[in-house]
Structure 1
Amino acid sequence: MNSFALPPFLAGLFTPLVELARTGGPVVVLLGMISVVTLALALAKLVQFHAAGVGRYAHARQVLQLWINGERELARDRMSGTRSVLSDILANLMRGAGSGRGTEAQLREDIERVCLNKLAHLRSFLRPLDMIAQTAPLIGLFGTVIGMIEAFRAMQGSGANVDPSVLAGGIWVALLTTAVGLAVAIPTSVFVGWCDGRIEREQQAMEDLVTAFFTGKPTEAAHAGVVDLASHGRRHAH
């Protein structure tokens, strides 16, 4: 029976990783598993942002301008079929204002609840990623401390016959765990910071849209972007 063999490109990818795990020991293996979890969470976060339409502002702002200009039926038509965080917020506002039920204060309170729920959804997965970014260097440092203890204990057992090369080898293997911990933590921390920035921009866009809806004074971006949409609607009306 033939033994299973990995394709050459997979063997070239996994061989260094296996050697790294064998050299670094259990701490490096643990950090490797943490890195796999980190990658899965990061991919899930990117998929979530894409599905939620994070960063897609133009269409919602254009529809808002139509609503403010009094073209409410056209605004409702343009809103259907769109998918983004701002579009969902604006759709809730338009439904609340069009139903005629409740006061403006009640509508503001309801839309604040919707916005908070949206932001909480966008922040999901960030807490475990932040924990990984903070704990991975500590795990690596823990492995280094254990390795240094082992290296110096071996040196003590050798007495006067200490081999500097053996000692140096034990020290660099111990330091390897800290390097791996930093290699996991640094990109994770950068990714969390990038996600936080996207969520903060999304929150600012929500606040601008809600304020413009109630005051009737849209942002310059909305005013500039609505021209083509409104003229497009009028052409179809003719």
Structure 2
Amino acid sequence: MTIAETILQLYQTGGPVIAVLLLMSVIGLTIILAKSLQFAMNRIHRFREARAAVELFLGGDREAARALVSGTRAPAARLTALAIQGLDAGQISEPRLREELTRVGNDELRALRGGLRPLELIAGLAPLLGLLGTVLGMIEAFQAMERDGSGVSPAVLSGGIWQALSTTAVGLGVAIPAVAALSWLESRVERLGQEMDSLVTRLFTQAPVNHSTPAAR
């Protein structure tokens, strides 16, 4: 049986609820693939250069530290480069530099979290829609029993119940991968946020004091 025939059979079994669930599965899969591609292209898992640059900067080799994180696409390295540049230049006060780094870091994380909300809705709504389809199917099956009276066939009744339960199965089949993917994507963003916070904190707490830094403005 081809994929198209399988989808048609599911639609004939569960009706519009199955159609909505299948549409949600396509949307969810698209979001997962798009976010995975975005994370890979932005190299959010790359912390090695940022960590090495912090070590070099704290060790006094500021030129090598700046060179290591310049021109990179990794968010952690870009934020580290901005922090190193601000600390090395000493043109703004530490509180203002911290505020700017916080703003940039939050912007990076917000951009990475974009699109996760629809995936969260799919993960939450899919099983509920499946349950709704089951309830509607059971109502229809019992209405058929009422119409036929005592002459209803057990095979017909079991077939109606099977059709009703199929929507719950499809709903769970859509929700489970969505929940797993959402958890994985959010964990990567959270890990990035923790790493960026750790790198910036190290720079501010362990870097040598630059006495040329002006007073707070």
Match of 1:199 in 2: 189
Please tell me the residue identity of whatever aligns with 1:206: M
Match of 2:161 in 1: 171
Is 1:112 the equivalent of 2:72?
no
Secondary structure of 1:159's aligned partner: helix
**Which stretches of structure 1, 4 residues or more, deviate above 3 A after TM superposition?**
none
Is 1:67 the equivalent of 2:57?
yes
Tell me how far apart the structure 1 counterparts of residues 67 and 193 of structure 2 sit (CA, whole Å).
25
Which of these residues, 2, 25, 49, is aligned with residue 12 of structure 1? 2
Is 1:185 the equivalent of 2:160?
no
Tell me how far apart the structure 2 counterparts of residues 154 and 199 of structure 1 sit (CA, whole Å).
51
Please tell me the residue identity of whatever aligns with 1:165: A
Match of 1:222 in 2: none
Is 1:89 the equivalent of 2:79?
yes
**CA shift digits 1:57-99 (9 cap, x unpaired):** 1111101111111111122222223220111101111222233
Please tell me the residue identity of whatever aligns with 2:70: S
TM-score, reference length from structure 2: 0.91
Which ranges of structure 1 fall in alignment gaps of 5 or more residues? Answer: 1-10, 218-238
Match of 1:211 in 2: 201
Which ranges of structure 2 fall in alignment gaps of 5 or more residues? Answer: 208-217
Which of these residues, 63, 66, 79, is aligned with residue 69 of structure 2? 79
Equivalent residue pairs, number: 207
Q: Kindly report which structure 2 residues correspond to 1:134-145, keeping only aligned pairs within 5 A, or say none.
A: 134-145=124-135
The Cα shift of 1:113 comes to: 1.0
Match of 1:127 in 2: 117
TM-score, reference length from structure 1: 0.83
**CA shift digits 1:7-61 (9 cap, x unpaired):** xxxx733222222222221110110011000000111110111122111111111
Tell me how far apart the structure 1 counterparts of residues 150 and 12 of structure 2 sit (CA, whole Å).
30
Tell me how far apart the structure 1 counterparts of residues 64 and 159 of structure 2 sit (CA, whole Å).
73
Tell me how far apart the structure 1 counterparts of residues 129 and 82 of structure 2 sit (CA, whole Å).
46
**Alpha carbon RMSD of aligned pairs, Å?**
1.4
